[in-house]
Structure 1
Amino acid sequence: MNRTTQGWIFGFLGMLVFSGSLPATRLAMAGFDPVFLTVARAVLAASVALVLLIVTRQSLPDRRDFQSLLIVSLGTVFGFPLLTALALQYVTSAHSLVFIGLLPLSTAIFGVLRGGERLHPIFWLFSGLGSALICGYALRNGLHGALKGDLLMLAAIVVCGLGYAEGATLSRRMGGWQVICWALVVALPLMLALLFVTLPADWSHIGVASWWSLGYVAIFSSLVGFLLWYRGLALGGIGAVGQLQLLQPFFGMVLAAVILSETVDPTMVMVTMAVIVCVFGAKRFSRPVAR
């Protein structure tokens, strides 16, 4: 099996794990404050990551890599989880999942800026069309009162795309699982400090579902998914494998409907299907071109 095929397999598995992140976050917020949920998931994931690094006797990252690890931490450990949790106070998880269709474009742009990739012009045409569909959907719903949630989701997509591209670039020399583990550990001191500041005053109202959801976003969304995703991006290319995330809204909407009994608007489905067509078009022209 060649590197590209392996990359797509790892990327697809990572995308499946991430599909449950927003529904699980919405479920966890029934019992937890958004800021506490963000730092708690980071601390739990970092604790497991630290054990993995110690058990496998990993060397400390090179000094030149700490800046990149900070960027990964800002984008994926803190920025995206916090911004999406805040957004979910104003919109449903099904609504927010439509914005995940912007992630491949955001990742591809930062892949060019931070990873030095060059992609075919038609790739950008399809990616831009998919993004335009999502922005149109956001503006349509923003006029009905969800604009604040939409803007928070757009900000989350920007910082997450940066974190994905930076982590994938770093994975080429450090290894995918090492990148996310070290990024979690780098963020751990700040997350621990924030954890004690944001501890709930009353734990009695927190249900079992919220605890299980916290466990999912901590272990799977914050760690396992990234182990697979960064491996996929490093093997198959940031811009190319990143297009798989355009399939995430579809899987996420199914989970939102089944687990949360959320209504999936027909417009959401139509926009998602149109964006999926764009991802297949972009995939065809996603191979990096020669300089």
Structure 2
Amino acid sequence: MPMTPHARDARRGLWLGALAVLVFGLTLPVTRLAVGDASDPQLPPGFVTAARAAIAGLCSAAYLLAVRARPPRRGLWPALAACAAGSVVGFPLFSALALRQVDAMHAAVISGVLPLATAVVAAITLRQRASAGLWACAVAGCALVLGFAAWSGHGRLQAADGLLLLALFSAAASYVAGARVSLEIPPAQTVCWALLFMLPLTLPAALLQWPPTPVRAGAWAALGYVSLFSMWLGFFAWYRGLALGGVMRVSQVQLLQPFVALLAAVPLLGETLDAATVGFAAAAVGLVALGRRFSAAPAAAPRAPSPAWRPAEPDPEPGAMTR
């Protein structure tokens, strides 16, 4: 029996969503490859943060010119600035600093509750009425990651754990802000405008922080990956997949993202995967899946999209925009 166009789109959407999750799942191990560790440092975390955003920003400028995108209205600039501050500066910088001190598997488990954190931030900042179930999952998720951090740190928390939590909430805040902007402009353009917004800062910062000493070619290759794929192209596959396959269906593949990071850390970094780490990651994913059942409903209807952009389906939940 031939497949209907709707079924073909749904399948393509799932494949594109899975491709994006693979791209995003590799971000933490590849970032660790770029910055190295305390005993074998490679590219400085500040340089990686600025350079990945500058490279992606230049690509975004070319893309926006190619599609003749109209600049967002001035009323969206504060939300774009918040999106850029979290996703272009906060998450990359704090995670890169943390990965100098802890391995990628540790970071993957902590960041596994990012969709849940984003739902909580959305409930607070968008004045949504969150259910008791969502708050219970949020508290349980916080306790889980703190318990894992203490277990991994032999009974105590490390400075890197605080940095990872700052990275997590930076990303959560940026995703909520980006979701609001995406109500009026195509979502793929949202990340491009955020990157372009920061380009006057990130490009000079990258040049000023150019590494003074030689580093391995693998670190440069890792920088290229997080710049072109994690920071830019991955979002094109993700948003296209959500549009074709449906938000609720395609966003579920994101539950695999922590496991992609765990598995990738073995061949890329030589880290050892143990049963306890997998167990903590599985528990984090389970809480995220449960938390999605308690998604908050907005107190007020969002602004209608502009005539230039009308999504076929509701916009993706903010928690479905992680990388």
- TM-score range (shorter-chain normalised) is 0.7 to 0.9
In structure 1, the residue matched to 2:311 is none
In structure 1, the residue matched to 2:257 is 248
1:157–1:133: structure 2 CA closer, same or farther, 3 Å change rule? same
In structure 1, the residue matched to 2:295 is 286
Q: Is the 8 A contact 2:128 2:296 kept in 1?
A: no
1:77–1:7: structure 2 CA closer, same or farther, 3 Å change rule? farther
Which residue identity does 1:136 align to in structure 2?
G
Sequence identity of aligned pairs in percent? Answer: 36
In structure 1, the residue matched to 2:20 is 14
1:203-218 map, 5 Å: 205-218=214-227
| Separation in 2, partners of 1:241, 1:154 | 26
In structure 1, the residue matched to 2:230 is 221
- Which ranges in structure 2 are unaligned for 5 or more consecutive residues? 1-5, 37-41, 301-323
Which residue identity does 1:218 align to in structure 2?
S
Q: Is the 8 A contact 1:40 1:195 kept in 2?
A: yes
| Separation in 1, partners of 2:76, 2:123 | 19
Q: Is the 8 A contact 1:68 1:166 kept in 2?
A: yes
Which residue identity does 1:209 align to in structure 2?
G
| Separation in 1, partners of 2:296, 2:250 | 10
Deviations 1:108-141 (A, max 9, x none): 0222234455554334433432332112112333
- Per the TM alignment, residue 224 of structure 1 is displaced from its structure 2 partner at its CA by 1.8
Which residue identity does 1:61 align to in structure 2?
P
- Which ranges in structure 1 are unaligned for 5 or more consecutive residues? none
Which residue identity does 1:176 align to in structure 2?
P
RMSD: 3.0
In structure 2, the residue matched to 1:177 is 188
Matched, 1:102 2:102: no
In structure 1, the residue matched to 2:317 is none
1:70-219 map, 5 Å: 70-115=81-126, 117-143=128-154, 147-202=158-213, 205-219=214-228
Which residue identity does 2:279 align to in structure 1?
M
| Separation in 2, partners of 1:26, 1:196 | 21
TM-score (normalizing by structure 2): 0.79
Which residue identity does 2:145 align to in structure 1?
I
- Per the TM alignment, residue 231 of structure 1 is displaced from its structure 2 partner at its CA by 6.3
Q: Is the 8 A contact 2:79 2:180 kept in 1?
A: no
1:113–1:156: structure 2 CA closer, same or farther, 3 Å change rule? same
Q: Is the 8 A contact 1:72 1:166 kept in 2?
A: yes
Q: Is the 8 A contact 1:104 1:243 kept in 2?
A: no
- Stretch deviating more after TM superposition (141-150 or 2-11): 2-11
SS at match of 2:158: helix
1:55–1:289: structure 2 CA closer, same or farther, 3 Å change rule? closer
1:123–1:135: structure 2 CA closer, same or farther, 3 Å change rule? same
SS at match of 1:173: coil
In structure 1, the residue matched to 2:316 is none
| Separation in 2, partners of 1:233, 1:142 | 38
Which residue identity does 1:23 align to in structure 2?
P
Which residue identity does 1:281 align to in structure 2?
L
- Per the TM alignment, residue 255 of structure 1 is displaced from its structure 2 partner at its CA by 0.2
Matched, 1:49 2:75: no
- Stretch deviating more after TM superposition (155-164 or 243-252): 243-252
| Separation in 1, partners of 2:204, 2:290 | 46
| Separation in 2, partners of 1:220, 1:65 | 26
1:6–1:179: structure 2 CA closer, same or farther, 3 Å change rule? farther
Q: Is the 8 A contact 2:126 2:298 kept in 1?
A: no
TM-score (normalizing by structure 1): 0.87
**Structure showing the higher helix proportion among its residues:** 1
1:5–1:131: structure 2 CA closer, same or farther, 3 Å change rule? farther
1:201–1:289: structure 2 CA closer, same or farther, 3 Å change rule? closer
1:289–1:228: structure 2 CA closer, same or farther, 3 Å change rule? same
In structure 2, the residue matched to 1:26 is 32
In structure 1, the residue matched to 2:319 is none
Deviations 1:138-186 (A, max 9, x none): 2333455661111100010011100111112211211111100000000
Residue of 240, 258, 281 corresponding to 2:267? 258
| Separation in 2, partners of 1:65, 1:200 | 36
Deviations 1:192-230 (A, max 9, x none): 22112211123xx32221121111100111112233446
In structure 2, the residue matched to 1:272 is 281
1:13–1:163: structure 2 CA closer, same or farther, 3 Å change rule? farther
